[in-house]
Amino acid sequence: MQSCLTIRPGRLRSWSSFVQLLKPDHRDRFRKGRPLDGPTADGTTMDGSRADGSTADGPRTSVLVVDDEDFIREIICRKLTGSGFACDAAPSAEDALAKISQNNYDCVLSDIHMPGMSGVDLLRRIKLQNPDLAVILVTGAPDIDAALEAMRLGADDHLSKPLNLAALEMTVDRALEKKRLIEENREYQRNLESMVKERTKQLSDANDDLRRLFTGSMKALAQALEAKDEYTQGHSARVAEESVNIARRLSLSDSEIQRIWLAGYLHDIGKIGIKEEVLNKPGKLNEEEWNLIKQHPVVAGKILGPIPELSDIIDIIVHHHERYDGSGYPDGLEGSSIPLGARILSVADAYDALTSRRSYREALARDEAYRILEDAGGTQFDPVIMRTFLDLKQGLKGIPGGGLPETEDECLQDATHGKSGLSGVIDITPFDLS
């Protein structure tokens, strides 16, 4: 059976047994009434550590014992030292705070009732300065309320007098284990946050790679179409640019502007299935050829339909040839039933077609194109969008974020290098159509 030494308040069961616990050098000091805290002949203090704080066996878990009774401090230290702890002692809470400020302890074991600052006050100060430091308070039998208050303030455990030295070691071990688990959990949380940030960055990088791949695929589609029609080189880029300018002036959201920009690039992709001799015919189209041309918005919807990322722009592309008065194609939609993006795209597309050279005519002057657009307001075009576009082009109102290019070459250059309407809105690099 394991024996233990019981310390009762105010006295020891056996003074001789206490003296026998001391080292010979300490025993001699005790008999002569000298302090026991100084180093012995072998260079160690009462707790087995050297004067510089190190131990013969290397670093150990450190405990600070705080009690105003010398013999209680020394017996507790002797017990803990024998169990492998590095033990230090302080006769008051004030001395304990001074030592804590100069040393890194793992645990503080303190009596509650001491002259001056109490153990509960010491606990408050410790938790303010070092919340992770384990604190065990020692209470007398009548101090249950104080013990509960101590636990509420953050004490890791408490012991009651008379002290059972075997229970003392288990209590210290339990408090240190709790401290270790808290620190490990905090470290885990730090590592987890770091892992989440790293994983988020990896996913963001992967998403950027997919966006670049997707953009490259869209570029290939646009270039495949324009390779068939020498008269539409740069048309998609210019329509996308003008559509973005209108959308920004109408204060649409960034996500809406992005959809309109992409729809502008792909609005004529359905023409990829039309024969080149029809696309480049210098004369007037016959009825069969015109009906074939009118199918290109529907064909575009079928081409882009299997691509989930494009599901929210297909309606814009399919209906960009609808007319405001309901006489357009393919579905004869009228007024506000035409998607807003399609109404914007319709104006930008018509303007670029009017001011670009085609197989059947030369490019019109800008003023002539403005007049044609204005005459078609309310019939072919949404009158508000048409007027917004003309105001922008004629310099009557500026758009947020910058001015407009002066020539068609500048329109293409801006769309290529992202220096005007697309700048600051589209978060991917515009197609390089040079």
List CB contacts of 431: < 8 A, sequence separation 6 or more.
215, 218, 219, 222, 237, 265, 415, 416
**173 and 299 co-located in one domain:** no
**130 and 255 co-located in one domain:** no
**29 and 169 co-located in one domain:** yes
- Token digits of residue 209: 């790679």
First vs last Cα of the chain: how many Å apart?
92
Domain residues for the domain of 125 are 6-188
**286 and 399 co-located in one domain:** yes
Separation between Cα atoms, residue 51 and residue 53, nearest integer Å? 5
Q: Give the number of domains in the chain.
A: 2
User: Which of these three, 188, 204, 239, is where a domain ends?
Assistant: 188
Q: What is the pTM assigned to this prediction?
A: 0.49
**26 and 170 co-located in one domain:** yes
Separation between Cα atoms, residue 370 and residue 11, nearest integer Å? 108
**239 and 289 co-located in one domain:** yes
The conformational region for residue 19 under phi > 0 = left, psi -120 to 50 = alpha, else beta, is alpha
Separation between Cα atoms, residue 238 and residue 267, nearest integer Å? 12
Residue 414, classified by CB atoms within 10 Å of its CB into exposed (0-12), middle (13-18) or buried (19+), is buried
**238 and 377 co-located in one domain:** yes
- Token digits of residue 231: 């008269």
Asked if the structure places residue 323 within a domain, the reply is yes
On whether the CB atoms of residues 313 and 305 are closer than 8 A, the answer is no
**177 and 263 co-located in one domain:** no
Separation between Cα atoms, residue 346 and residue 380, nearest integer Å? 9
Asked if the structure places residue 183 within a domain, the reply is yes
**281 and 386 co-located in one domain:** yes
**275 and 411 co-located in one domain:** yes
The 10 Å CB-count burial string (b at 16+, else e) for 29-49 is: bbeeeeebbeebeeebbbbbb
On whether the CB atoms of residues 217 and 269 are closer than 8 A, the answer is no
Q: What is the pLDDT along the chain (434 residues), one digit of tens a residue?
A: 344 444 444 444 444 444 454 555 555 555 555 555 555 555 555 444 444 444 444 457 899 999 998 888 888 999 999 888 999 999 999 999 999 999 989 999 999 888 999 888 999 999 888 888 999 988 775 566 776 777 788 888 888 878 888 888 888 888 888 888 888 888 888 888 788 888 888 888 888 888 778 777 776 777 777 666 656 678 888 999 999 999 999 999 999 999 999 899 889 888 887 877 787 777 788 888 888 889 999 999 998 888 887 888 999 999 999 999 999 999 999 999 999 999 999 999 999 989 988 767 788 999 999 999 999 999 999 999 999 999 998 875 443 433 333 333 433 333 333 333 333 333 333 323 22
On whether the CB atoms of residues 414 and 241 are closer than 8 A, the answer is yes
- Of 36, 44, 102, 100, the closest CA to residue 69 belongs to 36
- Which residue type sits at 263? A
**164 and 240 co-located in one domain:** no
What CATH number is given to the structural domain containing 94? 3.40.50.2300
**51 and 101 co-located in one domain:** yes
Asked if the structure places residue 325 within a domain, the reply is yes
Mapping DSSP onto H, E and C, the string for the chain reads: CCCCCEEECCEECCHHHHHHHCCHHHHHHHHHCCCCCCCCCCCECCCCCECCCCCCCCCCCEEEEECCCHHHHHHHHHHHHHCCCEEEEECCHHHHHHHHHHCCCCEEEEECCCCCCCHHHHHHHHHHHCCCCEEEEEECCCCHHHHHHHHHCCCCEEEECCEEHHHHHHHHHHHHHHHHHHHHHHHHHHHHHHHHHHHHHHHHHHHHHHHHHHHHHHHHHHHHHHHHCHHHCCHHHHHHHHHHHHHHHCCCCHHHHHHHHHHHHHCCHHHHHCCHHHHCCCCCCCHHHHHHHHCHHHHHHHHHCCCHHHCCCHHHHHCCCCCCCCCCCCCCCCHHHCCHHHHHHHHHHHHHHHCCCECCECCCCHHHHHHHHHHCECCCECHHHHHHHHHHHCCCCCECCECCCCCHHHHHHHHHHCCCCCCCCCCCCCCCCC
List CB contacts of 245: < 8 A, sequence separation 6 or more.
389, 392, 399, 404, 420, 421
Distance of CA 415 to the CA centre of its chain: 32
Asked if the structure places residue 241 within a domain, the reply is yes
Beta bridge partner(s), residue 7: 12, 163
Q: Report residue 82: phi and psi, to 5°.
A: -65, -20
Asked if the structure places residue 423 within a domain, the reply is no
On whether the CB atoms of residues 404 and 420 are closer than 8 A, the answer is yes
What CATH number is given to the structural domain containing 350? 1.10.3210.10
**Structure-token match 């002290």, residue found:** 163
Strands 6-8 and 163-164: antiparallel
Asked if the structure places residue 368 within a domain, the reply is yes
Asked if the structure places residue 41 within a domain, the reply is yes
Asked if the structure places residue 1 within a domain, the reply is no
